[in-house]
Structure 1
Amino acid sequence: MPDTDDLALARWEVATLTGRLRSLEAERDAAVLERDRHRQAVAALRRSRSYRIGRILVHLVREPLRTGRSLAGRLLRRRPPAPARRRPAAREVPARVYVAVGLEPAASQELVRALRQRIVVNADHLPVVVTDQPALRGMRVPGVVLEYVPDPVTWSKHEVDGWEALLATRVAQLCRDHRAAGAMVVDPRDPPTLAELLRH
């Protein structure tokens, strides 16, 4: 017969081992939950419009000709070729493309006003604003070029091609046409003020 002390020690060791196993299981479950939360956050970020636009512009900056031609080729294979656009005359200052889609009407107009004031203070570049606001379509602002693209909902009603491909193609074309020195995605939640634009 085992000694009483041996049985007590064995029971203590089993209880200790069981406690450790439960602790490890709890740590594992917490790690799995944390991993799942991170995956969900990353998935939500990748689905966001700001992320997709930012990714498009990163590709355009790294390989402007290849990315633009690739996206344009995908669209042109599905529709008749558009007439060639006339390239604007060379300017003394470089252009900069501002992708300002998803903004409220008032915020879009305020951004255009701030850009106009920005170049009055320091005319170091030509702002080219890509907007999906119908109210700005056809508007003429001295010193600022406005380019309209339909918003994703409007685009999906008339075309089967992806809106992101449309936007990327338009931005790439504008960068080539205006020989843009760079592009900037405007955060719809926090458009830049005049003071912030003057710092860039």
Structure 2
Amino acid sequence: MLSFQKLTGYVDGTLSSPPETTTANEKSVPNPDFETWKDTDQKVLWLIQSSLSEEAMNEVIGLSTARQVWLAFENAYSHCSLERMHTLRDTLRQLQKGSSTVSEFGQKFKLLCDQLAAIGHPVDENDKCHWFLCGLGSAFETFSTAHYALPTPTVFRDLLSKAENHELFLQTIHVATTTQAAFIVQQSCSANHSRNYHGTNRGRGRGS
């Protein structure tokens, strides 16, 4: 995204901050070049932060420029980056939803992807979606099969949203099925009670 918009200079340090002030008529005045740089830098900062998980945001609390944030991630994740890359990718492939919600599973999954991106090994969208679907488990078999049948690839962001909606759909079906079963049991009990009641009364009538 940053490369496409020609903004990488703000994170790699090639577009450093100009002086905050300049001299005009022998007086120090605000530098318009700095204001322009600052506005763009804050845009880049927002773009980076908007793609981070809540956990990854903890690494950059209090930092005010895109370059500072980028350096923080480099310092946090770049040591032994090749070994760490393999560890993170293995963890990502093996991550399972289990008893957590799709949203919780998605947050953990995205955090690992963010960490891989921060050390210079971003996960391909196809791999990301494939590993995510594998981690959802057998309860989402129908959902996963339908996704693989799509003619065009889905980006992870959209896939996560669809999986969350599917989970809500499954919960709705479960509630409806449970309610219907309870209604049938209640009706059966009422019918049995009615038969027992009438049978007892008929017996009393003959006895009298």
Output the TM-score relative to the length of structure 1: 0.30
The structure whose RCO (Cα within 8 Å, separation 6+) is larger is: 1
Output the TM-score relative to the length of structure 2: 0.29
Q: For the pair shown, which has the larger CA radius of gyration, 1 or 2?
A: 2
Decide which structure has greater helix share.
Answer: 2
Decide which structure has greater strand share.
Answer: 1
